[in-house]
């Protein structure tokens, strides 16, 4: 089979993404979605999520890359019929694609990125969350400073590829709690890394669960004003979906700080609800009540 010219591929992707991205007028207020996590698979549960009134889906990118193109096309058609979009994707990298440590394969990383970013573009994703704990964690005996430099190089490559191909997304660095990763464990460190990378396609996400696990002050949101592009939420004790009467009181501080910086992005539920059919709509109603301007 002959290769399809790169210019035609890019043109097709831009046409698809123009049809799947929400119009600018749709992004003037907060949008709420559900992210892939544990047993929650937004693509599988898209009908229920749309019926509950959520604005978008946040599925895993690595799993979408592993699908066949006919399967991805069928998903795009199904979501178009449902009237709900993929606006964010998490689980950026497969676990075995190491971006730190002694076994980094730059050619394999670049090949994966070219494919993955094209897949994300075809779905209309605007934010790719870079958590990927297994891919980014380095061996215990590997110098942290070298791993940090490798992350900078990886993120610059991501940003450059997005620019070169004129894609419509940014990469958002996620701080992960220490039991999950041994590097970039606080939102402050994610901000530091993003600033050192210095690329306009590299930003940060604040995950409330990780923030609270690491006992980080929600005031870090105020420092992230110009770089914050996404927020993920879970109840800190059980990592469930927060609902009225149960959430950690520090969540109100987070919401206050989001209002102070004029945050008008997306907020995803990313956790393990006890009962998805009841917890998800209850949490959505509570989130909307907590985040309205005051």
173-184: per-residue pLDDT in tens? 999 999 999 999
- Confirm whether 218 is domain-assigned: yes
Element of type H or E holding 279? helix 276-291
Q: Is the dihedral of CA 156, 226, 31, 16 positive or negative?
A: negative
- Confirm whether 183 is domain-assigned: yes
Mean pLDDT of the chain: 90
Q: Could you list the residue range(s) of the whole structural domain that residue 283 is in? A: 6-291
- Confirm whether 146 is domain-assigned: yes
Contacts of 40 (CB under 8 A, 6+ apart): 34, 271, 272, 273, 276
Q: Name which of 165, 232, 133, 238 is nearest 8 in CA terms.
A: 165
* Alpha helices for 165-275 (secondary structure H): 187-197, 208-213, 220-223, 250-260
- Confirm whether 1 is domain-assigned: no
Q: State in Å, rounded, how far the first CA of the chain is from the last one.
A: 59
Q: Say how far apart CA 30 and CA 137 lie, in whole Å.
A: 32
pLDDT digits (tens, 9 = 90+) for 254-270: 999 999 999 999 999 99
Q: Name which of 216, 293, 228 is nearest 260 in CA terms.
A: 293
Number of domains the chain is built from: 1
> What's residue 229's pLDDT?
98
- CATH number, domain of 276, equals 3.20.20.150
Full-prediction pTM beyond 0.95? Answer: no
Tokens at 250, concatenated: 């520090």
- Confirm whether 168 is domain-assigned: yes
Residue where the block lists tokens 């895993």:
60
- Confirm whether 98 is domain-assigned: yes
Q: Say how far apart CA 69 and CA 53 lie, in whole Å.
A: 28
pLDDT digits (tens, 9 = 90+) for 223-241: 999 999 999 999 988 899 9
- Confirm whether 28 is domain-assigned: yes
- Confirm whether 157 is domain-assigned: yes
Q: Say how far apart CA 54 and CA 75 lie, in whole Å.
A: 18
Q: How many CB atoms lie within 10 A of CB 292?
A: 11
Average the pLDDT over each of 113-122, 153-162, 190-199, 282-291 and give the range with the smallest value: 282-291
pLDDT digits (tens, 9 = 90+) for 62-83: 999 999 999 999 999 999 999 9
């Amino acid at each position: 089979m002959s290769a399809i010219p790169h210019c035609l591929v890019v043109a097709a992707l831009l046409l698809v993404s123009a049809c799947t991205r929400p119009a600018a007028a749709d992004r003037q207020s907060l949008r709420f979605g559900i992210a892939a996590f544990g047993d929650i698979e937004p693509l599988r549960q898209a009908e229920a999520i749309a019926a509950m009134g959520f604005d978008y889906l946040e599925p895993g990118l690595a799993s979408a890359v592993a699908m066949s193109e006919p399967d991805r096309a069928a998903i795009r058609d199904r979501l178009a019929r449902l009237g709900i979009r993929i606006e964010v994707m998490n689980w950026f990298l497969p676990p075995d694609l190491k971006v730190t440590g002694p076994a980094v394969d730059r050619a394999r990383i670049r090949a994966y990125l070219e494919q993955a970013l094209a897949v994300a573009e075809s779905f209309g994703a605007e934010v790719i969350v870079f958590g990927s704990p297994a891919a980014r964690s380095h061996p215990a005996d590997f110098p942290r400073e070298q791993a940090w430099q490798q992350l900078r190089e990886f993120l610059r490559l991501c940003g450059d590829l997005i620019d070169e191909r004129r894609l419509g997304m940014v990469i958002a660095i996620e701080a992960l709690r220490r039991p999950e990763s041994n590097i970039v464990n606080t939102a402050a460190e994610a901000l530091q890394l993003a600033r050192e990378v210095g690329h306009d396609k590299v930003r940060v996400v604040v995950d409330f669960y990780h923030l609270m696990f690491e006992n980080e002050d929600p005031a870090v949101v105020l420092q992230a004003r110009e770089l914050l592009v996404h927020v993920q939420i879970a109840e800190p004790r059980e990592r469930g979906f927060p609902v009225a009467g149960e959430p950690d009181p520090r969540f109100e501080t987070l919401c206050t700080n989001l209002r102070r910086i004029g945050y008008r992005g997306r907020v995803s539920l990313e956790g393990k609800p006890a009962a998805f059919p009841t917890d998800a709509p209850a949490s959505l109603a509570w989130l909307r009540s907590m985040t309205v301007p005051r």
